[in-house]
Structure 1
């Protein structure tokens, strides 16, 4: 998860504040010293850190907090609100022209992930807004960029406008807009050239493209792992291009995340999207309030629910709920549920969205997704009768299943036991057995969380 180091540091600091009946100005000062260090370590711009700490301190020592019945919680609430404001306050939607097509130009340094991001944004527009985008390959200096965009276009079954490396980026951008009009496409996403650093030649070319097609959006693609440099790059591009928004890539990597906390404050433009992985659908609308909650260990249930809504079939979910109530869940149902959870994204990311997920209690939980394959192999080695009636399992059946799945009898026994535990738990959770509920030690452990 992005901001992992920052999240751990802040949560450790705030754990000391929770439940305090009284918080002094000295307590707040000490806490803000830790917050300042945590933000600087996360590579947040030092000017941004100074302003943030002063804003929080001013509010945290006010009458509203000091005279509150829960001052410790109120201080955390203030930090959460200020952190949300720092990242933009609220979601900023991508523009939509009243007179289609809407032209969106993506810019940034070479290596930031522009070409892939063009395809990701196009896929998001089609999937979530029912739009029909056209992709324009205007990076003529890197032939691989044109090939890559055409490959991504085929993968998504979307039109790609390209004139090779001989045409000028301006002509390509103009041609793409005309093509979009003829094909009734309502968005044109232009992939522009990048450099290893900001230079005059690059900026001149981008300005020419901007003047030629007058884009509604100029989105700056920033590699989250570049730290302080990302802020300098954002300032340079914004000064010369007047960008309208930013897209953060590689926010899922081993990054300190300072760029996300600095770019908005330094440039004044909102962060519109965040890349959360390498796959074409791994891009999310950037929600400042949800990201702030995740950083502070409060979870992100709204994003979790949204992922579930797009991955789970409603009718099938109702059928499974009936089975859960009556404890009639079969191993085929289990496999189906497992696949739907996997479609929601990496399990580590899903756990991070749970409230309290970043706390020390969750720190040692390692999700080995390769273990899911072992679980699937065991289930697929069962006969239809065995999947529907696990109670028929005897020693010879277990040996056959273990051999067929490349696992051990112990693995098979463990899965059978956990499957029965899961059915009991589901029945209790859905109201099938409200009497005599007992809390187990630490709850059920799914086989792929061990």
Structure 2
């Protein structure tokens, strides 16, 4: 889970202040010592940690906090504000040229996931009604051009390539003419992965930069490399003047050192984060939402956005009608599972809910295997069985278990859960009717 280790430690340190009616400087010093340790263990830059703790303490020892009715809550709010500021305050969006095409130069170390990320970004831009073009300028890595072509095909974006015998500078120049001719308004140039200490390759990418004059220079960094990612960013920035960073593998980064240090050290924003291997798992980086998640306050806005992009509104209205009339079937249940899966891994979804912290998720087995098992059981039922589970007798249960690769106990458990869910829905519908008769509307808890 994102920032799992850091999140748990910070929540533990600040949680001790939450219940205190009065707050002494000693209480604050103790909490800040734990916060400092948590940040350093998360591989956050030492100077960044020092400045962060200093700012939080200066704000926290003011009368506004010390004389507050909820001093602990006020300190947590200050930490939340400062974490947000540390990561850049607001979302940093891509800048587009006033007259197309907008050229985006992608750079980074070998193995950071640059080619896949370039494809993910093209996919993201396509959803914004842009017409991106992918450009294959990595002539060194075997099969790099083929990889970009495969990614391009998957996201439905054209790829410009001149093979591996031409100079990358010439390929980049030619791609501009090709893009203008074919109406592409964004040109994404995928360059070869290079070490920041390799002078020859760094000079080459500078030549590409000079030849195409990009509007954006995006550095792709592996979040799991921690403090080294910051050093790499400084080197690339000195050579190219990067405009932003894309952090990959953030879903696997339990520490968070790179995300928390980058902006403060390089003064360059994190623009996107990779949250999984799928080509639609590249998200804009929202500092305020990330700070909220780190402190266990959830990320409701991102959760809503995910739901809006994944859930079919028409189907949701139909489902509501079925619930009201007690016509909810296993087909509807299966449909809901499919839509939930589209929102992303369950642990990520749960991590966005307020009050659900990393520690709570640790003991919870939130993998997709359980959902797969439920899907297999439902798909092994006949249409009649899905619409009316009451007809499922013992022989049918054996057949369903055999067909789904599960056992009869799994089938029984699902049938029982479904029955209880329907009962609960019926009860809510009855309660709503009663409330309407009394002149009130909606469920009592709404």
Distance 1:397 1:10, change over 3 A: same
2: CA distance, partners of 1:360 / 1:226: 23
State the match for 2:286 in structure 1.
287
**What CA deviation, in whole Å up to 9, does each residue of 1:294-339 have, x standing for no partner?**
1111111111111111111111110001112233210000000000
Query: In the alignment, is the contact (CA less than 8 A) between 1:374 and 1:407 conserved in 2?
Result: yes
How far apart are 1:255 and its partner, in Å? Answer: 4.1
Query: In the alignment, is the contact (CA less than 8 A) between 2:322 and 2:328 conserved in 1?
Result: yes
State the match for 2:57 in structure 1.
57
Query: In the alignment, is the contact (CA less than 8 A) between 1:325 and 1:432 conserved in 2?
Result: no
Moved more, 14-23 or 223-232: 14-23
**What CA deviation, in whole Å up to 9, does each residue of 1:41-82 have, x standing for no partner?**
111111111111111111111122112111111110110110
Distance 1:235 1:426, change over 3 A: farther
**What CA deviation, in whole Å up to 9, does each residue of 1:397-434 have, x standing for no partner?**
22222222222222111101111222344556678558
Query: In the alignment, is the contact (CA less than 8 A) between 2:4 and 2:358 conserved in 1?
Result: no
State the match for 2:307 in structure 1.
308
2: CA distance, partners of 1:354 / 1:67: 31
Alpha-carbon RMSD across the aligned residues, in angstroms, is 1.7
> Could you say what secondary structure the match of 1:306 adopts?
helix
State the match for 1:439 in structure 2.
none
State the match for 2:225 in structure 1.
226
Query: In the alignment, is the contact (CA less than 8 A) between 1:224 and 1:255 conserved in 2?
Result: no
Distance 1:425 1:222, change over 3 A: farther
> Could you say what secondary structure the match of 2:166 adopts?
coil
* TM-score, reference length from structure 1: 0.93
* TM-score, reference length from structure 2: 0.94
Query: In the alignment, is the contact (CA less than 8 A) between 1:101 and 1:186 conserved in 2?
Result: yes
State the match for 2:443 in structure 1.
none
Query: In the alignment, is the contact (CA less than 8 A) between 2:219 and 2:246 conserved in 1?
Result: yes
Matching of residue 245 in structure 1 with residue 251 in structure 2: no
Q: Which runs of 5+ in 2 are unaligned?
A: 436-446
How far apart are 1:288 and its partner, in Å? Answer: 0.5
1: CA distance, partners of 2:388 / 2:434: 26
> Could you say what secondary structure the match of 2:252 adopts?
coil
Moved more, 8-17 or 355-364: 355-364
Query: In the alignment, is the contact (CA less than 8 A) between 1:224 and 1:259 conserved in 2?
Result: yes
2: CA distance, partners of 1:340 / 1:55: 44
Query: In the alignment, is the contact (CA less than 8 A) between 2:223 and 2:253 conserved in 1?
Result: no
Query: In the alignment, is the contact (CA less than 8 A) between 2:194 and 2:202 conserved in 1?
Result: no
State the match for 1:267 in structure 2.
266
Q: Which runs of 5+ in 1 are unaligned?
A: 437-450
Moved more, 300-309 or 425-434: 425-434
Moved more, 306-315 or 382-391: 382-391
Aligned pairs for 1:32-43 within 5 A = 32-43=32-43
When the two structures are aligned, how many residues end up with a matched partner? 435
1: CA distance, partners of 2:334 / 2:25: 55
**What CA deviation, in whole Å up to 9, does each residue of 1:359-399 have, x standing for no partner?**
54443111131122221121112221221112233223222
Query: In the alignment, is the contact (CA less than 8 A) between 1:143 and 1:165 conserved in 2?
Result: no
**What CA deviation, in whole Å up to 9, does each residue of 1:84-108 have, x standing for no partner?**
1100001011111110000000111
Distance 1:432 1:151, change over 3 A: farther
> Could you say what secondary structure the match of 2:174 adopts?
helix
State the match for 2:22 in structure 1.
22
> Could you say what secondary structure the match of 1:252 adopts?
helix
> Could you say what secondary structure the match of 1:222 adopts?
strand
State the match for 1:44 in structure 2.
44
How far apart are 1:197 and its partner, in Å? Answer: 4.3
2: CA distance, partners of 1:108 / 1:99: 27
